[in-house]
Amino acid sequence: MSPERAEQIALSALIWLSTNEELLPIFLGASGASAQDLRAQVGDDAFMVSVLDFITMDDAWVIAFCDSEGLKYEEPLNARYSLTGAENVHWT
C-alpha cells in the first residue's frame, strides 16, 4: 500500500471515529487525547497510527468502519503498517 493511500485511510478512520458518539469517548480516554488534539494532530503519522491501532483492536469496529467507507477489512491494518514511523510491534 502506498503511503498516500495509507494516509487517506487513516484520515477516513479519524473522521469516522470523531463522528462515532459511542467510540470517540473511549478513544479519547484510552489515548489521553482531547477533542482539540484530533484536529491539531491530523498530519502527525504517530497519532494517525494510534487511531488505526484503536480501530483494529476490535473486529466489530473494523467491520463498521470498512463497511461505512467501502474498504476491504484488511485495509486499516495494512494502512497502519504503511504509515511513516509505524513499526511492527513484536510481543514475544
Average pLDDT in the chain: 87
- Please indicate whether residue 39 or residue 19 has the higher confidence score (pLDDT): 19
Handedness of CA 90, 44, 8, 68 (dihedral sign): positive
Closest CA to 39 of 31, 29, 50, 47: 47
Residue 66 CA to residue 61 CA, distance in Å, equals 8
Q: Give 76 or 38, the one with higher predicted confidence.
A: 76
Q: How large is the C-alpha radius of gyration of the chain?
A: 12
Looking at the predicted structure, is the pLDDT value of residue 86 above 60? no
Amino acid making up residue 91: W
